[in-house]
Amino acid sequence: MILKLSKTIFVFQKILMSIKLFFELIKFRLSLLVTFSSVFGFLLSSNYINYFSLFILIISGFFITGSSIINNQIIEKDSDKLMNRTKNRPLPTNKISSRNALFISLVLSITGLILMVLFLNKLTALLSFFSLIIYTFLYTPLKKVGPIAVFVGAIPGALPPLIGWAASTNDISLEALIIFSIQFIWQFPHFWAIAWVSDDDYKRAGFKLLPNNGKKNFSTAVNIMTYTMFLIPLGLLPTIFGITGLISGVVAVVCAILFLIQTLRLIKDYSRTSALRIMFGSFIYLPVVQLTYIFDKI
């Protein structure tokens, strides 16, 4: 009886460890945030919510996002070993082999795309496949080439709302391109703030994401400020085009101004602390604005 109980506990512990490893591999919180952006696009485009389609979007989108993240880690396994922030990930620590990680990635991506084709539409699957390919085979290797990687990476980074919109409407409208553009521009201060904060780590790994030859100087800080400034007029576009009401437009502008203030501090002192504020500000800005748009939808 005791032996049988011990074996049961052992099996249960192995299952829990496998689940924990899987969550680490797909960066669960990041995958969830990306999936939320697609849900945002779906809800914003819908007058009537098809809950089955929404459920399929969440599952399939989460799978494809997880696959993209795994692919990135497979390619950057050796680079991740050199950085303090990534050296304890499952692949650098050999908690899982690249071969097994690739198998998981393929299962996730294929399953996600099949679900989209069968239960959503081909446009949603095509956009998701496009995002997966760009993130894996263009953005990831370009990180060692130069800051062009940020521009390329901003495309799959901004596609989730567009994917959600397509899942609901089977169309790419002007309204869909507006919400894409907001998330696209948001990527630049977001990525560059992270690159500024993690500059030492990135240099060890050979990543070149900061503009102006990777220097943490006035020009780079101005670039971050400039892209953040664009969020002010962009935040009003959903109101102007009748996607949402006036309240969300005001909230989006206020959030963009508060975000912008953080960048002005970076121009003043070039400090890691100011870059951290921008980074955390970017994490707060996007979900707050997206949730406000949903609640204020016309």
* Residue ranges making up the domain that contains 250: 173-298
| Domain match, 56 and 156 both | yes
- Give residue 105's pLDDT: 97
Q: Degrees (nearest 5) of the Cα angle 179, 224, 210?
A: 110
Measured distance CA(270)–CA(275) in Å, rounded: 8
| Domain match, 143 and 183 both | no
Measured distance CA(26)–CA(33) in Å, rounded: 12
**Domains: count for the chain:** 2
For 167-179, give the secondary structure using H, E and C. Answer: HHHCCCCHHHHHH
Q: Mean pLDDT for the chain?
A: 92
> How far, rounded to the nearest angstrom, does the alpha carbon of residue 116 sit from its chain's CA centroid?
20
- Give residue 2's pLDDT: 59
**Is 160 part of any domain?**
yes
Please give the structure tokens belonging to residue 78: 């050796």
- Give residue 227's pLDDT: 96
Quick: pLDDT tens for 220-269: 999 999 999 999 999 999 999 999 999 999 999 999 999 999 999 999 99
- Report residue 244: phi and psi, to 5°: -130, 180
SS3 244: strand
Distances (CA, A) of 279 to 137, 209, 227, 229: 26, 15, 14, 15
| Domain match, 136 and 212 both | no
| Domain match, 40 and 161 both | yes
| Domain match, 155 and 187 both | no
Higher-scoring residue by pLDDT: 283, 16: 283
pLDDT at 81 over 60: yes
**Is 87 part of any domain?**
yes
**Is 6 part of any domain?**
no
- Give residue 47's pLDDT: 82
Please give the structure tokens belonging to residue 126: 């095509």
| Domain match, 117 and 180 both | no
- Give residue 65's pLDDT: 97
Query: What pTM did the predictor assign?
Result: 0.92
**Is 246 part of any domain?**
yes
Residues 6+ apart with CB under 8 A from 128: 60, 61, 64, 112, 113, 116, 159, 163
Quick: pLDDT tens for 115-154: 999 999 999 999 999 999 999 999 999 999 989 999 999 9
pLDDT at 82 over 60: yes
- Give residue 214's pLDDT: 79
Element (H, E) at 108: helix 98-119
| Domain match, 178 and 135 both | no
Write the single-letter amino acid at 225.
M
**Is 144 part of any domain?**
yes
> End of a domain among 171, 205, 222?
171
- Give residue 14's pLDDT: 76
- Give residue 44's pLDDT: 95
DSSP state letter for 245: -
Check which CATH number belongs to the domain holding 100 and give it: 1.10.357.140
Per-residue confidence band for 15, with pLDDT thresholds at 50, 70 and 90: confident
> End of a domain among 155, 171, 187?
171
**Is 19 part of any domain?**
no
| Domain match, 152 and 178 both | no
| Domain match, 200 and 276 both | yes
**Is 4 part of any domain?**
no
pLDDT at 191 over 70: yes
- Report residue 297: phi and psi, to 5°: -60, 135
> End of a domain among 149, 171, 193?
171
**Is 112 part of any domain?**
yes
Please give the structure tokens belonging to residue 2: 């005791």
| Domain match, 189 and 212 both | yes
Determine if residue 39 is left, alpha or beta; phi over 0 gives left, psi from -120 to 50 gives alpha, anything else beta: alpha
| Domain match, 162 and 241 both | no
| Domain match, 124 and 186 both | no
